[in-house]
Amino acid sequence: MSRRSGILEFAVLGLLREAPMHGYELRKRLNTSLGIFRAFSYGTLYPCLKTLVANGWLIEEPGSAPEDALAASLAGRRAKIVYRLTAEGKEHFEELLSHTGPDAWEDEHFAARFAFFGQTEREVRMRVLEGRRSRLEERLEKMRASLARTRERLDDYTLELQRHGMESVEREVRWLNELIESERAGRDRRSGPETPDNPARQDDRISGDTGGLPRHGGSTRPDPSDDTTK
């Protein structure tokens, strides 16, 4: 399985965990909610869906409105097929969510993983965020070293492009630092005894807690694909 097809399968399973959908709805959600899939086509999506069905992770069902199916039949069109996550598919997706290896913090895969952080355990979120930050810090160090070696040989425009790439990486590192600190603050707040100031310790019971997100208005998420140097 290629890395990109693996990301697509992960995203499809995650979206179908929220609700059953037909192919058009899935493609729209992948394009709008997960921008990394803007360029992919039905020719990419449907083989992925067939593979997931063959693996027993999805089942195909006819559209819910009988009159729609009849109208499609009379018009010579196929009725829409709705894809539903199976119990095995849910279990497989949860296994993927728990994965924190290097693939989880590479550029494209990290964006897909982050999109489903609301369904991810807090400790897993922390490991993915810290891994992504470490990877970007390594990248930034290499970019700075390369720029120092080649600065005198670069024209002004190439130099500005290199600086732009570095600024993009630096911006994402700052954003990750904010997220990590917020996750830690949320974890520390919920790890104490139940008090009026700490009423629920909800992260012990709700894996989809989003208490780690920064709450101030000045922070915006950079586009993980914005860095121009891999």
Q: What is the pLDDT of residues 93-103, one digit of tens each?
A: 999 999 988 88
> Comparing 65 with 99, which gets the higher pLDDT?
99
- Neighbouring residues of 165: CB distance < 8 A, sequence distance ≥ 6: 143, 227, 228, 229
Sheet harboring 58-62: ordered strands across? 21-22, 81-85, 58-62
Q: What is the pLDDT of residues 178-230, one digit of tens each?
A: 999 999 988 765 555 544 454 444 444 334 455 556 544 444 455 544 444 44
Query: What's the whole-number mean pLDDT along residues 54-70?
Result: 76
Compute how many other C-beta atoms are within 10 angstroms of the C-beta atom of residue 185.
Answer: 13
- Displacement of CA 205 from its chain's centroid (Å): 23
Strand spans (E) along the chain = 21-22, 58-62, 81-85
* pTM, entire model: 0.73
Cα 14 to its chain centre, rounded Å, is 9
